[in-house]
């Protein structure tokens, strides 16, 4: 996977202010506001910063367990395209969480949570900011 290196000023010129806040400054969009939260078309979700394919629609799920919802409010995936997403310890909220970033450009995507009991092959939930993604239909 190729690496995308840009200065913060270069990122500011190609990203919207909200994309920059989330992808480059590790922000979070408000729950339930992203365009891909309930999105269900078939295709590929790529990094909004560099265009690297990150997730396939076949790994996206709505986070339901019977009548329970994950409460995520962001797109949830149970796995990424191999090598596309990197994991890092994040202790910014006083607890250890696993941050996920685009391997190619380092853009912040969200966090991954394990062992929540979802009926998925990995029992993981990649909770991703919609604004960190760009969707491409399968054709």
Catalytic residues: 127
Mapping DSSP onto H, E and C, the string for 52-103 reads: CEEEEHHHEECCEECCEECCCCCCEECCCCCCCEEEEEECCCCCCEEEEEEC
Q: How many other C-beta atoms can be found within 10 angstroms of the C-beta atom of residue 121? A: 9
């Amino acid at each position: 996977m190729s690496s995308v290196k840009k200065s913060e000023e270069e990122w500011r010129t190609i990203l919207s202010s909200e994309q920059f806040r989330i992808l480059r400054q590790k922000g979070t969009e408000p729950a339930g506001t992203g365009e891909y939260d309930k999105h269900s078309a078939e295709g590929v979700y790529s990094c909004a910063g560099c265009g690297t394919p990150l997730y396939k629609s076949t790994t996206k799920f709505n986070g339901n367990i019977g009548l329970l919802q994950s409460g995520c409010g962001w797109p949830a995936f149970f796995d990424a395209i191999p090598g596309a997403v990197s994991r890092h310890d994040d202790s910014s909220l006083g607890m250890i969480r696993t941050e996920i970033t685009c391997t190619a450009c380092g853009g912040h995507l969200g966090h991954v949570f394990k062992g929540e009991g979802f009926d998925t092959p990995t029992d993981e939930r990649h909770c991703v900011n919609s604004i960190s993604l760009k969707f491409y239909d399968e054709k």
